[in-house]
Structure 1
Amino acid sequence: MTDLDLRLARRAAGSGDELSAILSLVNAPGLITFSGGFPAHEIFPVEFVRDLATGQLASGAQVALQYTPTEGLASFRAALADWLLASQGVAPEALMVTSGGIEALQLICRTLLDPGDRVLVESPTYVGALTAFSGFEARIDAVAADSDGIDPDALAAALAAGPPPKLLYVIPDFQNPTGAWLTTERRHALVDLARQHGLLVVEDVAYRELGFTGEQRPSLWSLAPDVVVQVGTFSKILFPGVRLGWAAGPPALIPHLVRAKQNSDQCAGGFGQWLAESLLRGDRLEPQLALARATYAQRWAAMSAGLSKHLGPEFSWSEPGGGFFTWVTGPRDLDTTALLPRARDLGVAFVPGAPFHAARTASSVAGDRDRHHTLRLAFSATTPDEIAEGTRRLGLLLTGAAS
């Protein structure tokens, strides 16, 4: 048989395996993993799901265990719309259910992107988004960001240079991978630029509800529902065992995403929608979120203490106000990718910084040239005791390599 690699489509041949590598470390024995953005299994609502399944599944089987409409169950979409109105102050004009947030990105790509179309992203950004955009052969340009999120001046410069982009992808709240939290002032500036340039903004709100204090800033979608499509997921705030998310955006766009979904998995799972609707209608989501915020705040405190204790002054890291991640920067001659085999020997895992960067920069200030001396640490799925030991091992690895 001939080598099938020779037959791969161009988009498949160029795709990376970073997400597969991260997911492969779930529950790896003997390993303290700071790699994946996995939620804490200790706070999964196991009793609620058990009681619901044993008490109400028989009467709800025709909904929970059956195919659903492509756009999602009407009753779940109504509950979701009510929650979005309560939490963000805007009722969605158009809303669909997706099989997780990443599927929503795939549907947007399938609907909007032709090969060579320009996409803007903050630098660095979520690996899964870069994979989705590159899989549809987009031209991905990076825009500078800092601890306050994407820089509006750099965005304006990117919009003024090159062909008009099809979309801008941004994670405003406790960003993956840096933990940055876009300021309210920058949020207004961003949507103003989007309106001026006719730019569609894809807002990923995976971590929006997970601020340690519960404080929230206005979502981009609530500020400009005419130019923003919001991509959300229940994987981080409930559990990823059922793949469930949403897309809310302009009424002219969402029906096209629904049609694209008909050509992928046809519909999101009914069981997950049934569970999530029960949580939303039963006022159980807010207590779940409060528990999650407290848990992740405690784990970040342990991570911060461990990094302060075990890393030297040549290292710095972001100080997230929520979410799952911190971004560590070391000396410029450090190569975190080259350290991965040694890290595994020490029983600790992280993700090097390089995969979070687009290949191109949209301007000379994009600031992603020095990629190899950074790394992302996730503190969400490890206990404080594991974090204490894991940061000790990490300190041995990083300080030894930097000395």
Structure 2
Amino acid sequence: MNDDSSARRLADTLRSVVRTAPAGSRLPSSRALAAEHGVGPVTVATALRLLAAEGLVETRPGEGTFARRASTTPGGDTAWQLTAMGPATVQATALGALLRPPRPGSVPLSSGYLAPEHQPHHLVSQALARAARRPASLGRVDPTGLPELRAWFATEAGARPDDVLVCAGTQAALATILSSLCRPGDAVVMESPTYLGALAAAQAAGLRVVPVHRGPDGAPDPQDLDRALQASGARVLYAQPHGANPTGTSWPARTHRELLAVARRHGCFVVEDDWAHDFVLAGSPRPLAADDPDGTVLHLRSLTKSTVPALRVAAVVGRGPVVARLAAGRTAADLYVSGVLQHAALDVVTGPGWRRHVRSARTLLIERRDLLAAAVTRHLGADALTHVPDQGLHLWVRLPDDADDLALAAAAATAGVDVTAGSPWWVSEPAGPHLRVSYSAADPAEAAQGVEVLAGLVRDRPRTP
């Protein structure tokens, strides 16, 4: 049994008791609670910590645990804030939904992470324990990042350590890039559809998002990109050339130089989000940054997706004075990334278990991708899947033209299948209804059952007379 879920259940049981108990009354001892509820001492200690964090109990060393009254401020009229805040600039509802853990018992076809049982928990937990024992990791670190970790990222990208800036995840890196290189009201060009987090970061920076369409080959047409940059004056293009989220498509290698040349001609930085670097399922994709001696590309590489969600460590790799500009912006925003996380990340990626983990994850993902793709084609038809990705974690599933992807995703959730509607990922109007169906977290058998549920919902969807 999961100790964390057991502790939460015990906390739920004790919470109602504590709330009705007189303030200052003593709770039974930990040993008595363990015996009464049939759990271990660690579970009891964890449950009491949860209640202490809520202000419901307090532990006095040598005396025991006592009920207390949580102090609350009387409710007042906060409606004035609606005027004071002004119009909302960030709409991150869909992004927030993506970040929620899967519901217990649901089929997780919306996850952007490996299944928990396939995440390298042992590598990360051991690395964190070692990092916590190092005095150097508990103090301040260079604002640009731990030198050894920057050197590792540089080696991976074919760059120099001075070209690397460590950030607390890709989202923080995107926020740093957009706030450092753009001013509110400026334009930023993005492929459509694109990553929800990039859209949210642009909104938070007060930018106008200008779409450029991905062509049938998976890349923007150079002439379309040229027109978008010319008309908008954008200084930043955000792109996912490899295993794009949500579509799974990649730019053909033959288009790299031409698209970079267009950006360079307009004095535009290309933010290359290489989020799926460790999830290459076929071929050997070459990063844009590898063919960019002039510093047009800002290469993003994250370790979070391929390790555990808590290890929020990423890097921006660039060339030239832009790195100093970004470092200043990152420092102003959050000073530096935790030394414990950086030391742990370095420990993980330089240890003997790292390559084994990556190889194992790729083998697992290939199997799950193929089985899910077969299930989609079998239950939703050959037209539902026009592309099987060679990198990443997701299938981009086309629905019938009269389907409502938002309503379908909501109905699927009610039926116990978590899947992601496609509409919020488009920069402009959607080119037809889609679902993003992920193969990373669900067991193949339950994933196939989830697709059967989706097929039933599509078949029984309301139709306009």
Worse overlay, 15-24 or 242-251: 15-24
- Encode CA deviations 1:180-225: one digit per residue, 9 max, x unaligned: 0111011111111122221110110010231113x22221111114
- What are the equivalent positions in structure 2 for 1:3-402 lying under 5 Å apart? 3=79, 4-8=81-85, 10=87, 12-24=88-100, 26-53=101-128, 56-57=130-131, 60-85=133-158, 90-91=159-160, 93-146=162-215, 147-160=217-230, 162-213=231-282, 215-225=283-293, 226-312=295-381, 315-359=384-428, 368-371=429-432, 373-401=433-461
- Encode CA deviations 1:150-205: one digit per residue, 9 max, x unaligned: 33232123234x13112100001100000001110111111111222211101100
TM-score by length of 1: 0.89
Give the corresponding residue for 1:365.
none
Letter in 2 for 1:84: A
Distance 1:30 1:181, change over 3 A: same
- Encode CA deviations 1:38-94: one digit per residue, 9 max, x unaligned: 22322222333344455x446x42133333222111122122222333xxxx44551
Give the Cα separation in 1 of the matches to 2:279 and 2:451: 23
Give the Cα separation in 2 of the matches to 1:52 and 1:167: 36
Distance 1:196 1:379, change over 3 A: same
Flag structure 2 segments of 5+ consecutive residues without an equivalent: 1-76
- Encode CA deviations 1:88-128: one digit per residue, 9 max, x unaligned: xx445511100000100000111122122111111110011
Give the Cα separation in 2 of the matches to 1:93 and 1:194: 24
Q: Provide the identity percentage.
A: 28
Give the Cα separation in 1 of the matches to 2:156 and 2:232: 38
Worse overlay, 38-47 or 265-274: 38-47
Letter in 1 for 2:84: R
User: C-alpha root-mean-square deviation of aligned residues, in Å?
Assistant: 2.1
CA contact (8 A) 1:80 1:277 kept: no
SS, match of residue 246 in structure 1? strand
SS, match of residue 397 in structure 2? strand
Distance 1:93 1:53, change over 3 A: closer
Give the corresponding residue for 1:364.
none
Distance 1:63 1:121, change over 3 A: same
Give the Cα separation in 1 of the matches to 2:258 and 2:290: 14
Letter in 2 for 1:122: E
SS, match of residue 376 in structure 1? strand
Shift of 1:13: 4.0
Distance 1:397 1:92, change over 3 A: farther
CA contact (8 A) 1:93 1:251 kept: no
SS, match of residue 344 in structure 2? helix
Give the Cα separation in 2 of the matches to 1:249 and 1:61: 30
Worse overlay, 317-326 or 275-284: 275-284
Give the Cα separation in 2 of the matches to 1:128 and 1:53: 27
Shift of 1:9: 5.1
CA contact (8 A) 1:314 1:331 kept: no
Distance 1:399 1:165, change over 3 A: same
Worse overlay, 348-357 or 37-46: 37-46
Letter in 2 for 1:357: W
